[in-house]
Structure formats: structure tokens, C-alpha cells
Structure 1
Amino acid sequence: MTDLMETLIENREMVQPNHANMLESAHGGNVMKWMDEVGAMSAMRFSGETCVTARVNQMNFERPISVGDTAYITAYVYDAGESSVRVRLVTEREDLRTREREKTTESYFVYVAIDENNDPTSVPELTVSTDEGDRLRKKALDGERD
């Protein structure tokens, strides 16, 4: 069994001009790629297996991330099936000089754990042993239904 808090991963990507669209903000495809990579890391930390993306439930872009800011990405596993792993992902725009952050993007990805033959393989049961883990899981389950 793996605890939710053990799956929590936070990562940053500096938005460079080559990541930008014509409005000088991060291209949505780059943000999605970064989120997918961090989400897969969380799923693999949980399952102990290689995980591949099976589904993106939705991708809500609320505001842009300007060139020079960082994309601060948080991911954690909030539910699991037999071989599937559900991960909540939140991206915030962060100004490293002021440490100011605001949410820009939110999504829920589903990954599938695979074995050495690329066949689906079982994953452990998710446990939640802290108040913070309970809060995060509830937030993910409530948000997934929106």
C-alpha cells in the first residue's frame, strides 16, 4: 500500500520564449506536456511500475503563464483501480522574484501501470493516513465531478 502523501510531486518549469505562443505566454501544449510528465512521475511513485497516460478528463486553462514566470506543477494520486491510477494536477503561475502564485490550469489524468511486456499490471491500494491527505483527496474527488 502507498500513502497519498508519498505520491505528492511538485516541479517547476521556467517559461522560455521557445515555449511561448504569439501572445508571449506558455503554449497550452507545453503546459499539458509538463503536467503529463509530473503526473506520470506521481503515478509511478505510487505504483512502483512504469505508467502511461490513458486519459485526460479535462484541461481547464484559467489564465496565462508569461515568459519569464515559472509553471509550478503539483500532482498527487487520489484514487486507483486494478491497473489505473488517477492523478490530480494543478499548475500555478509563479513569479520567482516575489513568490506570488496563482492557479492557471487544473486537470485530472488517468494513467495505467504496465509491466515489461507493456501489458496492464496491478497497482497497490491507496491509503490516506493524514489530515492533509484527506483534504487533498476530497478536493480531487469534488473537483473531478465539476
Structure 2
Amino acid sequence: MPDLLDTYIENREPVQPTDANSYGTAHGGNVTKWMDEVGALSATRFAGESCVTASIARMDFERPIPVGETAVIRGYVYDAGETSVDVRLEAFREKPRTGEREKTTESYFVFVAVDEAGDPQPVPDLTTETERASMLQRKARDGRTD
């Protein structure tokens, strides 16, 4: 059975002018796309099957990510159903020279494991073998308000 920490994925996207809206900050659609990609990778690692997005809970854009900074996206599986996989996702703005970070966006995505024909597939149970894994799971469950 996969452990929560096995599903922890962090990725970086440099925010370029082509990623920006008219205010010179990352377009919300791009941030959502980057989060969806990391979430799908995390869910797939957990399920051992391809995973597709089933739903996105409330998407909270707390602050912008300016062009020239780095979008850091992190996600991990915190729960699972029969065929569904719940992933907590956060985005941060990071200054490339200092590594200083500030959270910008948070959401919870649900993915469904599917086979090559697109039919839902069962997923394993999630384990939390360390205190860090248990803490991340609690944090995700406590933060989900929908």
C-alpha cells in the first residue's frame, strides 16, 4: 500500500510573460493547469493507474505570482475512495534568487483512476507511516471546507 509521502510531488514553473494576464501576473488558468498537472502526477503515483480530474473544490487565489518569479506547486494524496483519489494542492510564489516563498493558491482536487478504455479502476488504501504523513493528512482534512 502506498504511503502519503510517496505521493508528495513538488514542481516549479518560471512565470514568463506568455503566462501572464494584463496585470503582469500569472493567469489564474495557468496556475490551475499547473496544479492539475501536479495533482494528476500525485494521484497516478498513488493509484498505479492513469488518473483523470473529476472535480476541483473551491480554488482560493490569495495573492498573485508576478512575471519573473517562480510558481512552486506542491501536492499530495490525503485520502482515497474506491476509485477516487483526493489530492491537496498549493501554489507558492518563489523569488528565484533567494528562495523566499509565499503561499498564493490552495485547492483540493479529486481524480479518478481509469484504465486504457477510460473505465474507473480500484485504488489501494492510503497509509500514513510517519508523523509527517499523519500531520499532512490532518492538515488536508481540516482545511477542506466544501
Partner of 2:8: 8
- Residue 112 of structure 1 corresponds to 112
Aligned length: 146
Letter of the aligned partner of 1:41 in structure 2? L
Q: Which runs of 5+ in 2 are unaligned?
A: none
1:106 Cα shift? 0.2
Report % sequence identity. Answer: 64
Who is 1:63 aligned against? 63
Deviation at 1:98, TM superposition (A): 1.2
**TM-score after normalising by structure 1:** 0.99
For residues 111 and 145 of structure 1, the distance between their equivalents in structure 2, rounded to whole angstroms, comes to 18
What SS does structure 1 have at the residue aligned with 2:58? Answer: strand
Measured after TM superposition, the shift of residue 117 of structure 1 is 1.2
Provide, for residues 58-112 of structure 1, a one-character-per-residue CA deviation record: whole Å limited to 9, x for no partner: 1000000000101001100000000000000010000010111000000000000
The two structures, once aligned, show a CA RMSD in angstroms of 0.7
Distance in 1 (alpha carbons) for counterparts of 2:69 and 2:85 = 30
Aligned to 1:44: 44
Structure showing the higher strand proportion among its residues:
1
Asked whether 1:136 is paired with 2:130, we answer no
**Corresponding position of 2:87:** 87
Give CA-to-partner distance per residue, 1:105-137, whole Å, 9 cap, x none.
000000000012110000000000001001100
CA distance in 2, matches of 1:5, 1:11: 15
Amino acid in the other structure paired with 2:128: V
Give unpaired runs (5+ residues) of structure 1.
Answer: none
So what's the TM-score if we normalise by structure 2?
Answer: 0.99
